[in-house]
Amino acid sequence: MAKTKPGKKDLESYTIKGTNKVVRAGDCVLMRPSDSDKPPYVARVEKIESDNRNNVKVRVRWYYRPEESIGGRRQFHGAKELFLSDHYDVQSAHTIEGKCIVHSFKNYTKLENVGAEDYFCRFEYKAATGGFTPDRVAVYCKCEMPYNPDDLMVQCEGCKDWFHPSCMGMSIEQAKKLDHFLCSDCSSEDDDKRSRNSYPVSPLAEPKVEPKRRKR
């Protein structure tokens, strides 16, 4: 490994204190927040290095929770949703308290069971502006909302669109018992083709002030 600065040394891995869990560059980790009432911060480790006094530091790229974003948590955000931000930091490796897995949206929706360590990410997030990439996503159902993987949806056999039971006047229990489902458009005679719209996910407001960086 190439030396970066005098006294600094790149490390292949770091073992989380008191565990046998090994963290390498590219892994996602939970980091202890300064305020212990808060949930742990989630970050992706970019680099691990030690200084000349053997203090191990990690260069991390933060994931933001929806409530930490400028636009806040919205109805279509999943409970385990994270945004990969453009906000980097160097932290002491001692603040790492565990590892986690940040899945792609597609893989997350295929998980049989969602464990405490499972998260997903479908957006990149610009911390300064609150903007998302991609900034539009497909919408579903009559209510034209992006998919929240926490909500049960049923697929129409006609148009193949997905629907919330509540938007179709059904309970979750009724929807679970369905063998076949046709939405109200497909079960009526007129077959006008529905176009799939998209939904803007970035806040429209201009960035006014540089948002305060969170204290870590």
Q: Are 183 and 168 in contact (CB under 8 A)?
A: yes
Site string for Zn ion, 155-194 (x = CB under 5 A): -x-xx----x--x---------------x--x--------
Between residues 101 and 167, which has the closer beta carbon with respect to Zn ion? 167
Residue tagged 């039971």 (tokens): 165
Q: What is the DSSP letter of 144?
A: T
Nearer to Zn ion (CB atom), residue 88 or residue 199: 199
Interface mask (CB under 5 A) for Zn ion, residues 85-124, using x and -?
Answer: ----------------------------------------
Binders of Zn ion: how many residues, by CB under 5 A?
Answer: 9
Q: Which residue stretch of 56-64, 91-99, 118-126, 148-156 sits at the interface with Zn ion (rule: CB under 5 A)?
A: 148-156
Beta bridge pairs of residue 45: 60
* Residues forming beta bridges with residue 9, ordered by sequence position: 50
| Nearby residues of 38 by Cβ (< 8 Å), 6 or more positions away | none
Cα gap 184→194, rounded to integer Å: 12
Give the span between the Cα atoms of 42 and 35, in whole angstroms.
14
CB 170, min distance to Zn ion, A: 11
Interface residues with Zn ion (CB under 5 A) are 141, 143, 156, 158-159, 164, 167, 183, 186
